[in-house]
A = this chain, B = another copy of it.
Amino acid sequence: MQKIDCDVLIVGGGPAGGVTAVTAKMNYPDKKILVVRENEIQLVPCAIPYIFGETLGCSDKDVASCAMAEEMGISTIVGTIEDIEVSKKIAYCCAGEISYDKLIFATGSTPFVHRSLRHSLILEGVFTIAKNKEFIDKLDVYAKDKQEIVIVGSGFIGVEVAIEFASKGKNVTVIGGSKHILQNAFDEEVGKQAEELMLEAGVIYIGSDRVTQIIDKNDDNVVNAVQLKSGRIVDAQVVILATGYKPNTELAQKAGISLGHYGGVWVDEYMRTQNHDIFAVGDCSSRRDFITKEPSKVMLASTSAAEGRIAGSSLYEIRYLKGFSGTIAIFSTMVNKTAFASAGATEEQAKAANIDVVVGTFSGMNRHPATIPGARKQFVKLIAMRHGGQIIGGQIVGGEEAGEMINLVGLIIESHHDIYKVMSMQIATQPMLTAAPTSYPLVMASVVIAQKIQNG
């Protein structure tokens, strides 16, 4: 068996693994960095939904570049690590025995399917959204000549995939457990707006329901329909289960690494496991919420990349103080040409976590004056602590600018800034690019909250 030596072994080549590798090489240029990844071609995970519709149209347009890693002298093996002997610092894969000094799990996540439906995954026409080109291509080809598409799950992936399929003229039905779509990220009145736009794009939504059975009427291993808890049966030629992801920790478990909440690898603030030569980053690591400090199921490539930067720079010494403790859920998406973005806790989540909050909303225009061509409505909702006034959540509906505006809300949350700070925040406003200086929505929503607090 071939013996391979490296200093830093990174298992996984997604956003977390890739950023860890690049950061490690930047910080420790003399170390030999080796990435072992399963996929020859790595997809850009967040853009997978756009493969199925008019936006990208094929998976070849969604390939992540490895050029930077190669240029920097980072080695890569395409293969699977089968086992790790932690005490000997050796990993075993088809290519041989890999000895390492520092080990990073960046093994990502795999689609989660409810126990009751797992056996149906063998049926022809039933798919998940796995982050794997071969698998995605199979779904893409299979769906090409099918008309009836059922998507189970009304989160971001489900909604994005639904709209893309609808853009190709297919009959698409989304089935979700909550009354309105995107309810992990938006309060009901905002999710409802997104839902209306999804319906306008031609997608049907069945809410407050769930799939109890995936039906193969002819007993020929081909899906025909789904049975809902409500009793409804929905015809389906393709069923896509977009019901979340779970940390991929099989290898870590086999190696005896301790897990944390929701099955992710337990890590400290610097992404170290209990063994400080072993790290975990990205979706395979265990996360908790920035505000509530409760276990968090949020999986985001952006958070994974931030974790990769921390791990990559902390391998041999802690170089940079980690700026945050806990994951702020910051999301954005487009629904039928309108942007929806959310950061931190929703009002509902805050109340469920027994947080005493005050909420402020503001509706205005995203350009000024409103006569500027292309100006459109912009809605902001902020959620703040009644005592202290710190902003812990925000939701935005508007034009494409919402994608960066929500990052501003994210930084406000991460900085523990309060509504009083935001009320006199220094900003740029420009007719063609932003709302008016006199009614900038983040400021105005903060003013509304301050008024509510003042008036008791």
Contact = CB atoms under 8 A, between A and B. Distances in A.
Contacts of A403: 401, 404, 428, 430, 432-434
Interface string A255-294: 0000000000000000000000000000000000010000
Name the residue in A309, A404, A450 with the highest tally of chain B Cβ atoms < 10 Å from its Cβ.
A404
A47 B402 contact: no
B401 A434 contact: no
A417 B415 contact: yes
Interface in A23-63: 23, 26-27, 44, 46-47, 50, 55-56, 61-63
A401 B332 CA distance: 13
Interface of A: 15, 18-19, 23, 26-27, 44, 46-47, 50, 55-56, 61-64, 290, 300-306, 309-310, 320-324, 327-328, 330-334, 339, 341, 343, 368-369, 371-373, 399-408, 410-412, 414-415, 417, 420-421, 423-434, 436-438, 440, 443, 447, 450-451, 454
Contact of A429 (B46, B372, B450, B451): B46
Contacts of A327: 426
12 contacts: A19-B437, A44-B431, A50-B372, A62-B371, A310-B424, A323-B420, A331-B428, A332-B430, A401-B401, A402-B433, A403-B434, A411-B412
B15 A438 contact: yes
Given A334-B433, A410-B426, A425-B411, A44 B369 contact: yes
Contacts of A64: 369, 438
Contact of A46 (B321, B415, B437): B437
Copies in the complex: 2
Contact of A414 (B19, B420, B426, B438): B426
Contact of A437 (B302, B420, B447, B450): B302
What 8 pairs across the A-B complex have the smallest Cβ distances?
A: A403-B433, A330-B428, A404-B404, A61-B371, A47-B431, A302-B437, A301-B437, A305-B437
Contacts of A447: 23, 26, 309
Contacts of A323: 420-421, 423-425
A303 B371 contact: no
A298 to B, nearest CB: 10
A410 B434 CA distance: 14
A408 B415 contact: no
Given A44-B369, A320-B450, A372-B50, A426 B303 contact: yes
Contacts of A368: 44, 46-47
A434 B47 CA distance: 12
